Amino acid sequence: MDNSPPAAPPPSPIPEVSIIVPARDEEASLGACLESLIAQTGAAFEIIVVDDGSTDRTREIAQSFAGVRVISASPLPKDRAGKFWTGKNNAIVAGAKQARAQWLLFTDADTVHRRESLARALAEAKQERADLLSYSPEQVVVTFAERAVMPVIFAELASQYPLHKVRDQHSATAAANGQYLLVRRAAYDAAGGHTAIATEILEDVALARRFRDTGYRIHFRYGGDAVRTRMYSNWAQLREGWTKNLALLFPQAGFLAFQSLLLWCAAWGALVLAVSGAVSRHWVWIAFALFWLLLYRRIRAAHFATQNDLLAITVGLPLFAYLLLRSKNAHKNGRVSWKGRVCDVGAPGASKPEETQALGAIQRTEDPRLRIES
């Protein structure tokens, strides 16, 4: 009788890509995200979901998918200056430590990935000789607030971070979208990864700058052909999310708010003059309608539907100005919050993350019909 211990199972082959999904209270969207990721073909991959202290069914949903590895993020550490890491950075670092592949894809739990997009992104990164490839996803908007504000924000982002400058390896402009970040592992580790930017709230732009500063190549583009997302499902989420980010994305937030209000007033004034000219048959006044066309052309760069672009011009500009000023004031006061955590942004007396767990996580209610396209 052979009493020798059973042979250990053969090690699984090393995948080409490790997909890391940080998730905190994402029960409304995580299922659709994982369905779309599991359906990918053309590249060998593993999926790691990092449960970042969720209080809902996030972990249960992730564990229901065969082959998906679910791990937990550790309590938030501090950097040498005593500042806490952000929750997302902490979760990503935990996932990266477990990843085995030579390419890492960091993607948010509210994304939905189109079929074969992973293989195409990998091929694009290699073709472009990119160490960091990032897509700005198609933005799904449903509510009035989303449809009015999101086109303005993304149009201004396109103006602030022109893609041709981001892709210019000699440019000081660096940017990326944390909803889809594909990085070469060797370059990621050499640049310090998310550990090097662990306290940064705007971690995607900070990581892109880190890659650029250490001499690695960035390739960034609109990626609606690869991935889509619905970032916020109601006004409360949208307001809190952009309050956290806008002042970091736009250093001259106060001036941009004033400019947005000025453009809005000018747009309505031009429309009144154009309509008055048509009624009174002073045809030259109709030329004022061209101002709307110029604004529409600017908003159009954000890749939203025409009706949403027009709604953005009509009411979105003052809402954007409000969010800019709210974000500026929040950062000035040293306190921004997201999903039950208050982040210290450097002002004296700002609360620390462990002091604010009682706030409770913000629940997302994304449209359950949002699914991957066949």
- Per-residue pLDDT in tens (0 to 9) along the chain, 374 residues: 456 656 555 567 889 999 999 999 999 999 999 999 999 999 999 999 999 999 999 999 999 999 999 999 999 998 888 888 999 999 999 999 999 999 999 999 999 999 999 999 999 999 999 999 999 999 999 999 999 999 999 999 999 999 999 999 889 899 999 999 999 999 999 999 999 999 999 999 999 999 999 999 999 999 999 999 999 989 999 999 999 999 999 999 999 999 999 989 888 877 776 666 666 656 555 566 677 778 888 899 999 999 999 999 999 999 999 999 999 999 998 888 877 777 777 543 333 433 333 233 323 333 333 333 32
Residue 274 has what pLDDT?
66
Question: Sign of the C-alpha dihedral, residues 104, 157, 333, 109?
Answer: negative
Residue 361 has what pLDDT?
32
Residue 266 has what pLDDT?
86
φ and ψ of 104, to 5 deg: -120, 130
Q: Cβ neighbours of residue 291 under 8 Å, at least 6 residues apart?
A: 266, 267, 270
φ and ψ of 207, to 5 deg: -65, -40
Residue 365 has what pLDDT?
33
The span from the CA of 114 to the CA of 224, in Å, is 9
Closest to 231 measured CA to CA, from 153, 179, 182: 179
The pTM assigned to this predicted structure is 0.84
Taking CA atoms, 163 is separated from 132, 169, 228, in Å, by 14, 12, 19
Angle, vertex CA 111, rays to CA 105 and CA 116, nearest 5 = 60
Q: Which domains does the chain carry?
A: 17-137+177-233 (3.90.550.10)
